[in-house]
Amino acid sequence: MDDLVQITLLSLGVSGIATAISLLIGLPLGTVLALSVFRSRGLVLSVVNTGMALPPVVAGLAIALMLWRSGPLGDLNLIYTPTAIVIAEVVIATPVILGLAAAGIGQLDPRLQLQLQGLGASRLQTVWWLWREARLSLVAALMAGFGSVISEVGAAMMVGGNISGQTRVLTTAIVLDVGRGEFGTAIELGGILLALAFLVNGVLTWAQQSGQRR
């Protein structure tokens, strides 16, 4: 039972931290992408969109190669640690949040930016109010980002190693249990995973809706 609690908390913690870091990277970059006009904008957009469809195993493979003992970052001794899973999940979630944030902000009327600036908003004030206007899309981007990592298994397996008590998360535990034929435990873990996803998205949806009513 303790095992179950530990696995669940690790899943939640790793995905939560990874989503938060992805938000910190993806939101500013997505904002810049949505608001600025530059020549290679189309290229950057297609790279981001490709990133949104990046297969987690490929992300996992890339991070595994980097962190492998003989790899370029091998000296950091991060392979098979929760930190390694966080890094891989950041790589997976950042393009999702970046792309959806850029789309959400890009959907705002461009005249809104002019109006805010025309009322004397500084650059930061303008961005803050644009985020506020796009908050429904931004919360949706956050949910999509979290969803992409909480349910991910390939990368977590590859860079985390599914070590019991250390890097075993819900998804990798399910894979292991199914491999062993222990369907009862697998179903139990699956139920927890679903409940977790429902809970987190429920909270975010509630925040989104109440923000809209206000």
Q: Can you give the binding site for other proteins, defined by CB under 8 A? A: 109, 111-112, 114-122, 125, 129, 132-133, 214
Alpha-carbon dihedral of residues 87, 147, 59, 38, nearest 10 degrees? Answer: -90
Cβ-contact 81, 167 below 8 angstroms: yes
Q: CB of residue 144 vs other proteins: minimum separation in angstroms? A: 22
Continuous H helices in 36-119: 41-52, 56-67, 82-106, 110-118
Residue 40 three-state SS: coil
Closer residue to other proteins, CB minimum distance, 107 or 166: 107
Residue 55 three-state SS: coil
Closer residue to other proteins, CB minimum distance, 133 or 152: 133
Q: CB of residue 161 vs other proteins: minimum separation in angstroms? A: 47
Q: CB of residue 36 vs other proteins: minimum separation in angstroms? A: 14
Q: At what angle do helices 135-150 and 82-106 cross, to 10 degrees?
A: 150
Q: CB of residue 97 vs other proteins: minimum separation in angstroms? A: 21
Tokens matching residue 181:
């034929």
Closer residue to other proteins, CB minimum distance, 120 or 179: 120
Closer residue to other proteins, CB minimum distance, 2 or 109: 109
Q: Supply the DSSP symbol for 122.
A: -
Q: For the chain, report the end-to-end CA distance as a whole number of angstroms.
A: 42
Q: How far apart are CA 13 and CA 172, in angstroms?
A: 15
Q: CB of residue 142 vs other proteins: minimum separation in angstroms? A: 18
Residue 127, CB half-sphere, CA atoms under 13 Å: how many?
Answer: 14
Q: CB of residue 103 vs other proteins: minimum separation in angstroms? A: 18
Closer residue to other proteins, CB minimum distance, 116 or 170: 116
Closer residue to other proteins, CB minimum distance, 55 or 110: 110
